[in-house]
Amino acid sequence: MSDYPHLLEPITIGATTLRNRVVMGSMHTGLEDGFWDIPKLSAYFAERAKGGAGLIITGGYAPNVRGWLKPFGSQMSTRLQAARHRSVTDAVHEHGGAIAMQILHAGRYGYTPFSVSASTRKSPITPFKPSTLSTKAVDRTATDFAKSARLAQKSGYDGVEIMGSEGYLINQFLASRTNDRSDAWGGTSEKRMRFPIEIVRRTRELVGPDFMIGYRISLLDLVEGGQSWDEVVALAKLLEEAGVDLLNTGIGWHEARVPTIITQVPPGAWRSLTARLKPEVDVPVCASNRINSPEMAEDILASDGADLVSMARPFLADPEFVNKAAAGRADEINTCIACNQACLDHVFANKKSSCLVNPRACRETTLVLSPTRTTKKVAVVGAGPAGLAAAVSAAERGFAVTLLEKSSEVGGQFRLAMQVPGKEDFAETLRYYRRRLEVLSVEVHLETRATAELLKGFDDVIVATGVTPRIPSFPGVDHPKVVSYDQVLNGSVTPGRKVAVIGAGGIGVDVSAFLTHDPADDLDDWMAHWGVGDPALHVGGLKEKKPRTSMREVHLLQRKTTRIGKDLAKTSGWAHRAVLKDSGVAMVPGVSYDKVSDAGLHITVTSPDGSVSSEVLDVDHVVLCAGQESVRGLYDDLAAREGVHLIGGADVAAELDAKRAIEQGTRTAAAL
Ligand code: NAP
Ligand code: SF4
């Protein structure tokens, strides 16, 4: 008996039978945009189909030029474009999977000067003001969706998903926030719904009864002027009548000021909304957003909260997610930690997606861990993310690997990161690596300090000795009030009520969140702090935010005069800054550190207007988060030897992040 009987049960949607209830949700990777990347896209989907995904949904394809996400972005509107997709659909079918193409019209989210929308209202996240689609152009656009679906059908897709959520064009028609039209496509809520209904109706007409039509419905817009719950339910029923076979669910517009999928969102946060929609319709309903484990997915299905579960990023992290769960090897799943660092942050920076914990994602044809034909002995020194990735990847290739770590546990900087509120999932990455070390029979020596002497018998040595916190030099830096971030996060120091944090990079921000966070907060508090309300009572699901109770008074300081947190990641930085602001953290740029004394931290602040003032922050502790320096003693001792590789923070400490560390570890092992 499987641990996941509901998850692994087949389901028939329209005329298509899926082998299980797991949907690999749509995720734009950048491989969709150029025909030359089609072989890579096929290989990427083939691995996921081989890994057991029931239904794969592609990244979004625009139904016409005006629907582009970016100039020359992905599009499906010609027979030539359709012909190129055959290798994608064949690759998935060869492995027993089904595949649907998502049709996405970006509307005012199009990063082009010729974007269009229901009105001329500009989005706060793009620089371009859209033009209003004329009454006739709306009609033509609805037909373009249907034609695009027909082309997908000709390319061998099992169905399409019409993207009606996340604030794209269809959502822009549905909400009064963006639709103030007075023609047949706006005015009343019924008229605002006409656009998606027409799209589905015309699509069904063109593709016939057997082709699967899915629709991604926005359950919670999380923007002012969004839809009410009654409108969402009415739309779902009308879509069903118009011919959809499957309702997938979406949460929040991209411009919403509530995080919906990043790591600080509690797993399963939105599942109750899908459960609420399910009894309103007869077609299958799919749960999505912030679901990353087979346990959670199974629980949603077993509790009748959905008919299917969609996971997008978890399939970047581990293409074999389903097969591992089915084979009783769920403890070997490489869990998506919802960091966005290598997937969505890449997409928003116009780069190809990959995955922080699986750098092979979207690089299936170029980053290959091929079996070795040699019998080299490989030593990896340091069991942080870089060393773990190198050891596991080298062992996967068939090398005899020994991993040496000076502390009593593996994990390095990740062991600190997982202490940060909202980053608990980082522990899953360490669980994954620990299990892989076991499965691959890597010889692990903890509490072992590697020396040149000890490493003599190895053919290759990968040095991943990591970093040490930087200690700045100013008077009083050795005062008992001064501690380093690792002491705070590993629990060896419990800071007092009033704290100054020196350095406002990723770690300074994390430490400030750690210091102010109320550990008693649960999911209801999380919703309340972000102002998320019942959509039946609050339009768009937004209400007034409940103030946060801060556990400490924190001053977050930096020398630069730029805005604090300016360089944090695009898709998550704004949310981290908002939490600190709501927690009352005083964020002060332009600081110079004069000294630390019994009275506290003495600083001089240069304000944006150029005025200079001095003050003493009466704090109990000063936490240093001033970056790191490489630990390279061993590498220097080995430098004269052949076959020595330096990776991770030991290689470059500046702006080290786990994405670079894990990728470098994997690439080094791939090149051995
Ligand atoms: P960091 O991003 O380099 O920030 C360290 C900060 O310390 C700098 O912003 C710098 O700001 C200050 N600093 C540097 N030298 C100093 C000195 N001698 N005296 C006083 N202040 C000094 O390093 P980090 O915060 O340790 O983060 C390490 C890496 O982990 C980064 O790549 C980061 O992206 C990643 N990370 C990211 C996140 C996230 O995205 N949420 C979270 C954790 C870690 P000033 O010079 O302006 O004072
Ligand atoms: Fe998940 Fe982070 Fe990988 Fe994206 S980069 S798939 S969020 S682990």
Q: Whose CA is nearest to atom 3 of ligand 2?
A: 355
470 C-alpha to ligand 1 centroid (Å): 10
Question: Which atom number of ligand 1 is nearest to the Cα of residue 568?
Answer: 40
Regarding whether 569 and 644 lie in a shared domain, the answer is: no
Regarding whether 304 and 435 lie in a shared domain, the answer is: no
491 C-alpha to ligand 2 centroid (Å): 27
| Residue whose CB lies within 8 A of the most ligand 2 atoms, among 311, 357, 431, for a mutation test | 357
Report the greatest alpha carbon distance in the chain.
81
133 C-alpha to ligand 2 centroid (Å): 36
In the beta sheet, which residues pair with residue 159? 100, 212
- Say if residues 158 and 152 touch (Cβ distance below 8 Å): no
| Residue whose CB lies within 8 A of the most ligand 1 atoms, among 474, 559, 564, for a mutation test | 559
pLDDT at residue 167 is higher than 70: yes
The DSSP line for 362-419 is T-TTTS--PPPSS--EEEEE--SHHHHHHHHHHHHHT-EEEEE-SSSSS-THHHHHTT
Regarding whether 431 and 309 lie in a shared domain, the answer is: no
The ligand with the least distance to the CA atom of 317 is: 2
670 C-alpha to ligand 2 centroid (Å): 21
What helix, strand, coil percent values describe the chain, rounded to 5?
35, 20, 50
Average pLDDT for 3-19: 96
Average pLDDT for 53-61: 98
Q: Which residues line ligand 2 (CB under 6 A)?
A: 313, 316-317, 336-343, 355-357
- Say if residues 198 and 144 touch (Cβ distance below 8 Å): no
User: Has residue 278 been placed in a domain?
Assistant: yes
Walk across the sheet containing 586-588 and list its strands.
482-484, 621-624, 498-502, 553-557, 586-588
User: Has residue 510 been placed in a domain?
Assistant: yes
Domain boundary at 592, 611, 626, which? 626
Q: Tens digits of per-residue pLDDT, 349-398?
A: 889 999 999 999 999 999 999 999 988 999 999 999 999 999 999 999 99
User: Has residue 362 been placed in a domain?
Assistant: no
User: Has residue 542 been placed in a domain?
Assistant: yes
CATH code where residue 428 lies: 3.40.50.720
Predicted pLDDT of residue 655: 67
CA–CA dist 271, 286 (Å, integer): 10
Q: Can you give the pTM of this predicted structure?
A: 0.95
658 C-alpha to ligand 1 centroid (Å): 14
Q: What is the mean pLDDT of the chain?
A: 96
Q: Tens digits of per-residue pLDDT, 659-670?
A: 999 999 999 999
Q: Whose CA is nearest to atom 10 of ligand 1?
A: 503
pLDDT at residue 575 is higher than 80: yes
CA–CA dist 222, 167 (Å, integer): 10
| Residue whose CB lies within 8 A of the most ligand 2 atoms, among 315, 341, 348, for a mutation test | 341
- Say if residues 22 and 311 touch (Cβ distance below 8 Å): yes
- Say if residues 572 and 257 touch (Cβ distance below 8 Å): no
Q: Whose CA is nearest to atom 6 of ligand 2?
A: 313
CATH code where residue 511 lies: 3.50.50.60
User: Has residue 556 been placed in a domain?
Assistant: yes
Regarding whether 493 and 586 lie in a shared domain, the answer is: yes
Q: Tens digits of per-residue pLDDT, 120-142?
A: 999 999 999 999 999 999 999 99
| Residue whose CB lies within 8 A of the most ligand 1 atoms, among 415, 556, 657, for a mutation test | 657
Q: Whose CA is nearest to atom 32 of ligand 1?
A: 655
- Say if residues 22 and 297 touch (Cβ distance below 8 Å): yes
CATH code where residue 252 lies: 3.20.20.70
Q: Tens digits of per-residue pLDDT, 605-659?
A: 999 888 999 999 999 999 999 999 999 999 999 988 999 999 999 998 876 689 9
In the beta sheet, which residues pair with residue 467? 630
Regarding whether 653 and 611 lie in a shared domain, the answer is: no
Tally of domains within the chain:
3
106 C-alpha to ligand 2 centroid (Å): 23
Regarding whether 337 and 188 lie in a shared domain, the answer is: yes
Domain boundary at 626, 641, 660, which? 626
70 C-alpha to ligand 2 centroid (Å): 23
Regarding whether 294 and 410 lie in a shared domain, the answer is: no
User: Has residue 371 been placed in a domain?
Assistant: no
User: Has residue 340 been placed in a domain?
Assistant: yes
Domain boundary at 303, 329, 348, which? 348
Q: Which residue numbers are catalytic?
A: 168
Regarding whether 408 and 487 lie in a shared domain, the answer is: no
Residue 657 domain boundaries: 377-468+629-670
User: Has residue 366 been placed in a domain?
Assistant: no
Q: Which residues of 397-421 are buried (b: 16+ CB within 10 A; e: fewer)?
A: bbbbbbbbbbeeebbbbbbbbbbbb
Regarding whether 295 and 260 lie in a shared domain, the answer is: yes
Helix H or strand E encompassing 278:
none
Regarding whether 203 and 341 lie in a shared domain, the answer is: yes
Predicted pLDDT of residue 656: 65
Regarding whether 588 and 500 lie in a shared domain, the answer is: yes
Q: Which residues line ligand 1 (CB under 6 A)?
A: 470, 472, 502-510, 558-560, 568-569, 576, 625-628, 655-657
Regarding whether 571 and 546 lie in a shared domain, the answer is: yes
Q: Which residues of 222-242 are buried (b: 16+ CB within 10 A; e: fewer)?
A: bbeebbbbebbbbbbebbbeb
Residues 6+ apart with CB under 8 A from 438: none
136 burial type by CB count under 10 A (0-12 exposed, 13-18 middle, 19+ buried)? exposed
